[in-house]
Every structure is written in structure tokens, then in C-alpha cells.
Amino acid sequence: MGRLTTTKCTWKNKRHGKRKDHTTATFYADLHSQMGRSPCCDKVGLKKGPWTHDEDQKLLAYIEDHGHGSWRALPARAGLQRCGKSCRLRWTNYLRPDIKRGKFSLQEEQSIIQLHALLGNRWSAIATHLPKRTDNEIKNYWNTHLKKRLAKMGIDPVTHKPKNDALLSTDGQSKNAANLSHMAQWESARLEAEARLVRESKLRSSFNTPTTYNLSSASTSASAQPNRSLDMMKTWSSGGCDLESPTSTLTFSENAPPIMTSSVGDNLVHTIEFAGTSGNSSSETGIIREEGHEQDWKSMENSVSFTSGFHHDMTLSIESAWASPEYSLRGNSEHVNIMDEGFTSLLLNNSGDRSLSDSGKDSDNCGGGEEGSKYYEDNKNYWNSILNLVNLSPDHSPML
């Protein structure tokens, strides 16, 4: 078969790309400890590789009775021939009762993409906003599904911009992209702080509880946190043209209606409904926003055309972007405009029947003309959508 046939006793040195046999690995581990870096645990005689059902049961039973406490000490106490780190990973990524497994919904995928555009490969931060999903699962899903799809569309999965974006070096769009990037950095920092607060809250809430794992207290502790997020972003967004980030000139206008609301569902807490039209547009195009949407996207490939303009529903715009081969293959002017804007900009285009050729023009000055203000209106809407997304999250995020 075509499976990889590397032997079980070899491993690859990541830094040097060389394979070493297990003996050599052990030697290097010993060397490491002699050089001052101690191994995470005594690996002699410890089992590696896939967990058996029996091991899972032992770990589950132990944690149910005693909590995990010290991971290092846990394996011996639980009667497992594993290192503590392996136990922690198994628990965190697989056995924990408050994690959801199975296919990602379309909404979850969109959240991942949005958050990745903001945060990059910071999977734990992203996972904070995707309840019941682990960072490892999100990371795997990104690497095996989403990244490839973006690449297929000609979008750089790292920057979320078209791969030919290098051509746009001096115009307003590039400046705007830089502004978005600056804001993303700020938001990223904020999310980190927020996650820290949540962790602290968790610690506080569990301070008086026995070592036994308590799902209910863990999962609700974040709710007790006052919603203190996004103060800075709100300050930005409320300040109009006079307010700037330390480095950005991106501004917002006031009094725009929110474009995104959220609801809490059984399967997905952050169901993102964009203002007004999601239901209609879904039914119009036969999109099913649930499990198995991969099929739906494929089926859309032959039915969605960008020549008709953007849909009211931002969600649909994204879906269309995913699904339409024309999007990535056509070479006409409309296509160029879309590609110039980039994938992230697709998220901005939620404002009705706006034509493609209007997008992204004359946007470097604040309030400079109708199109410019429209453009900033869209930017504001985009960031509002992100704000809503992250604002809602702490109340529903699982404790990690």
C-alpha cells in the first residue's frame, strides 16, 4: 500500500531534517539532560503512539475520581505507562467531556477563517472562540482543509490576500491592508489578554473546588467575567475620522447598523447570521449550512457566478468565493477587482447590491467621496463583525 513505511523506531530531527534511530534519539535525550535541559519525563519503558481503549478508560476513571492535578505524577498513579504530557494531550484533545468532535459546520469554518485572518496560526486563541473545539483539532482542520481551499482559490492562506497582491504596492488598498493588519495586531494582543483573564477566572473559580474535574464550574466560569473586551476597538469605532490607532489611519463612522448577530445553538454557539438575508439567500441557492456542506460547496461550483454582483448575505459571498471556479479562473476585469481586494475583503462586501467594479477604490482618505465613505463603511462593518464575534465568545467559550 501507499502508506508511509518508515519504521516505528525512527524519528525525524525537525531542525536538521535527519532521521535517527531510537538509540540515537535516546542518546540525544541523555545528552540533552546532561547539557541542562531535562526531558519532560523519564521515557524509559513508557508507551508511545495511539492510545488503547483500556488506557483511555484508566485515564478517564482516574481523572473522574481525582482530577488531573499534576500531570507528571498522574500516569504512575493511574497505572499508565505513559508520560504525563501524553496523558495531558490525550485528555485535552480527545477524552475531555466538553469537546465536540465531528465535522466542522460552515459557520465554524467561517469563524476559523476570520479568526485566522486576525490572529494567524495562534490556534489556542482561535479555539477560545470556537466552543468545544480544541486547538489541535482546529489546527488540523485548517491544515488539511481550509488552507488547501484558500490556496486553490489563489489566496495566500497566510496573509488571506490574493497571491498576486504583490502588484498592489502603492495604492490605497495596500495601505488599507496594512491598517487592517495593524488593527489585527492590536486585537490579537487584546485577545491574549482576554484569554489570560479567562484563565485567571478559571483558576479562581476552581480554587475552592476539590481536585475532581468539574465540568459545570469550568464551563461557566467565563460567564462570570464581566465583558470587558474590545474597549479599545470600540473607542476606535466610535471615534470617526478623528480617532486613529497608534499606527493606523483606518477609521469608522458611527451609527451603522450591526451586520452580524449571533445566537447560541446546540451544536454551534457562534452561529453567525448576517443581517437580514441569510435565510433567504440560503434558500435561494439551496445552501445547507449544516453538516455535509462540503458537498454543497461542490454543488455550488456550477451554479454561482460573480457576474451578478455580491449577495446581501456576507456568508453567501464567502460561500460563493469558495465554491466558484470562475472566481479563481476568470480573467476579466470584474475578476481582477475581486482578486485585488482579497479574500478578507470579500468579508467586507456585504452591503447590498454593490457592484464589483466599485469595490476598493479611492479608499485611502477618510470620508473622501461617496465611494471612499462606502468603502470605510464596509471596513467598519467588517470590524464590527469581528467585534461581535469576539465579544460573544468569552461568555460561551470552553475553559481550556
- Show the DSSP H helices in the chain as ranges: 22-34, 53-66, 74-78, 84-90, 106-119, 123-128, 135-141, 147-152, 172-206, 215-220, 231-238, 278-285, 293-300, 314-323, 325-329, 333-348, 369-396
Quote the CA–CA distance of 324 and 341 in Å, as a whole number. Answer: 16
Going residue by residue from 95 to 124, which x/- string records binding to DNA, judged by CB under 7 A?
------x-------------------xxxx
Q: Which of 62, 78, 86, 111 binds DNA (CB under 7 A)?
A: 86
**Which window, 22-30, 237-245, 261-269, 318-326, contacts DNA (CB under 7 A)?**
22-30
Q: Which residues in the 136-155 window bind DNA by CB under 7 A? A: 136-137, 139-141, 143-145, 148
- Phi, psi (5° rounding) for residue 262? -135, 155
Quote the CA–CA distance of 367 and 369 in Å, as a whole number. Answer: 6
Q: Which of 75, 108, 116, 135 binds DNA (CB under 7 A)?
A: 135
> Measured from the CB atom, is 197 or 336 closer to DNA?
197
> Measured from the CB atom, is 75 or 360 closer to DNA?
75
Going residue by residue from 151 to 180, which x/- string records binding to DNA, judged by CB under 7 A?
------------------------------
Quote the CA–CA distance of 298 and 46 in Å, as a whole number. Answer: 45
Quote the CA–CA distance of 264 and 79 in Å, as a whole number. Answer: 40
Q: Which of 24, 60, 89, 217 binds DNA (CB under 7 A)?
A: 89
> Measured from the CB atom, is 2 or 246 closer to DNA?
2
Q: Which of 23, 34, 35, 49 binds DNA (CB under 7 A)?
A: 49
CA angle 136, 141, 142 (to 5 degrees): 100
Quote the CA–CA distance of 261 and 361 in Å, as a whole number. Answer: 28
195 binds DNA (CB under 7 A): yes
**DSSP code of residue 397:** P
We find the least distance from the C-beta atom of residue 102 to DNA, in angstroms, to be 8
**Interface residues with DNA (CB under 7 A)?**
1-8, 10-15, 17, 19, 25, 28-29, 37-38, 40, 47-51, 68-72, 82-86, 88-90, 92-94, 101, 121-125, 135-137, 139-141, 143-145, 148, 195-196, 199-200, 203, 400
